[in-house]
């Protein structure tokens, strides 16, 4: 953990609030994304665009944040512009690959392969962020990965599989695997950017790191939307959308806002804890979606879904318990500095809390 505030009641309160934002935002965004397709939406590029199109809304809280102090480290604008462009382009293509992988894979296979995201993040966190692993953290990563994969095994994909284009299975597999690796890399690069380049963790920088890459990703998605010609289908989609045009707009707006809320929560967790912890929290949201889908879409609640939820809770609590133990050890030692998980990281300058 970063500094003296870690392990305190107030620190845990802020972390829990960020976790709640991630869980709620990702769950709502996923459900609204499904509602878009269930109600007549067909544009994969529109679905991709909605994942980052809410970024301009972050200008409002950014304008309300206090100005930086004179002593605050100010990274070079050219370097940050390159980072924003690089991360944003990666996010845009990552969203593209995830969207189109669903066209080429059965739902169960897609879920199984996408579950490797957390495993990839464990690797990138170790190589890029010097993440130290304990038995509890390894247990958390393994159990959560199996929890997500279990959802794929238990999903009924007979109908979906029949619609998968012949000969496209290898393409879908590669796209999903690549997208999982890229999102893991993005999270680790965001963490190392805060540690090595920005060197402060104020709310202003959290908002910037969430907003500017998403603006670049939105531009990438817009290029794809117009280049593919799918923009021509938007009026027809709106006209045929279940319950009218207003619901079409509200569904996409709600999806965009929810994804930005989840992304902002993830970015705050990266600055407060680590990229791996943020990914662990996001993975916990996967088993929550089927529960709400039972009530909203009439899905059937199966034993496999219930087991996946319990495994997700077990894996997540293992990770949280590790940080709790580290906080107690630090307090007992009278140091209150860094936990074992982050002890191997380089001694960076003191960071301002986000």
pLDDT tens track for 176-198: 888 888 998 999 999 999 999 99
Question: Could you report the per-residue pLDDT of 221-271, keeping only the tens digit for each?
Answer: 999 999 999 999 999 999 999 888 999 999 999 999 999 999 999 999 999
Q: Name the average pLDDT for the chain.
A: 80
Residue 343 predicted with pLDDT over 70? no
Q: Which pLDDT does position 84 carry in this prediction?
A: 97
Domain boundaries, the chain: 9-63+73-342
- Say if residue 335's pLDDT is above 60: no
Taking 70 as the threshold, does the pLDDT of residue 38 lie above it?
yes
Q: 302: buried, middle or exposed (CB in 10 Å: 19+, 13-18, 0-12)?
A: middle
Lowest mean pLDDT, pick from 40-44, 263-267, 272-276, 334-338: 334-338
Whether 349 has a pLDDT exceeding 60, the answer reads no
Percent of the chain surpassing pLDDT 70 = 76
Measured CA to CA, the distance from residue 231 to residue 35 in angstroms comes to: 20
Say what the pTM is. Answer: 0.80
103 pLDDT above the threshold of 50: yes
SS (H, E, C) the chain: CCCCCCCCHHHHHHHHHHHHHHHHHHHHHHHHHHHHHHCCCCCHHHHHHCCCCCHHHHHHHHHHCCCCCCCCCCCCHHHHHHHHHHHHHHHHHHHHHHHHHHHHCCHHHHHHHHCHHHHHHHHHHHHHHCCCCCHHHHHHHHHHHHHHHHHHHHCCCHHHHHCCCCCCHHHHHHHHHHHHHHHHHHHHHHHHHHHHHHCCCCHHHHHHHHHHHHHHHHHHHHHHHHHHCHHHHHHHHHHHCCCCHHHHHHHHHHHHHHHHHHHHHHHHHHHHCCHHHHHHHHHHHHHHHHHHHHHHHCCCCCHHHHHHHHHHHHHHHHHHHHHHHHHHHHHHHCCCCCCHHHCCCCCCCCCCCC
Confidence of residue 298 (pLDDT cuts 50, 70, 90): low
């Amino acid at each position: 953990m970063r500094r003296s505030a870690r392990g305190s009641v107030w620190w845990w309160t802020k972390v829990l609030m960020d976790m709640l934002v991630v869980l709620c935002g990702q769950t709502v965004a996923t459900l609204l994304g499904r509602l878009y397709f269930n109600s007549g939406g067909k544009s994969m590029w529109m679905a991709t665009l909605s994942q980052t199109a809410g970024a301009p809304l972050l200008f409002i809280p950014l304008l309300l944040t206090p100005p930086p102090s004179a002593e605050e480290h100010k990274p070079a604008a050219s370097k940050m512009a390159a980072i924003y462009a690089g991360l944003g382009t990666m996010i845009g293509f990552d969203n593209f690959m995830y969207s189109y992988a669903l066209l080429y894979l059965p739902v169960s296979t897609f879920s199984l392969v996408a579950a490797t995201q957390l495993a990839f993040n464990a690797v990138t966190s170790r190589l890029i962020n010097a993440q130290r692993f304990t038995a509890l953290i390894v247990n958390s990563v393994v159990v959560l990965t199996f929890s997500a994969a279990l959802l794929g095994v238990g999903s009924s994909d007979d109908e979906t599989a029949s619609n998968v284009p012949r000969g496209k299975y290898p393409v879908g597999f590669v796209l999903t695997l690549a997208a999982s690796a890229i999102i893991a890399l993005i999270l680790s690069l965001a963490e190392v950017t805060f540690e090595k380049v920005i060197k402060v963790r104020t709310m202003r920088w959290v908002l910037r790191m969430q907003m500017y890459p998403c603006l670049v990703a939105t531009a990438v998605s817009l290029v794809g939307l117009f280049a593919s010609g799918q923009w021509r289908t938007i009026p027809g989609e709106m006209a045929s959308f279940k319950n009218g045009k207003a619901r079409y707009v509200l569904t996409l707006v709600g999806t965009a806002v929810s994804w930005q809320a989840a992304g902002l929560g993830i970015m705050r967790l990266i600055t407060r804890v680590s990229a791996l912890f943020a990914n662990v929290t996001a993975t916990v949201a996967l088993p929550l979606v089927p529960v709400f889908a039972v009530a909203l879409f009439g899905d059937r609640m199966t034993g496999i879904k219930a087991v996946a939820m319990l495994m997700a809770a077990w894996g997540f609590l293992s990770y949280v318990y590790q940080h709790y133990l580290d906080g107690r050890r630090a307090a007992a030692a009278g140091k209150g500095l860094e936990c074992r998980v982050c002890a191997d990281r380089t001694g960076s300058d003191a960071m301002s809390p986000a």
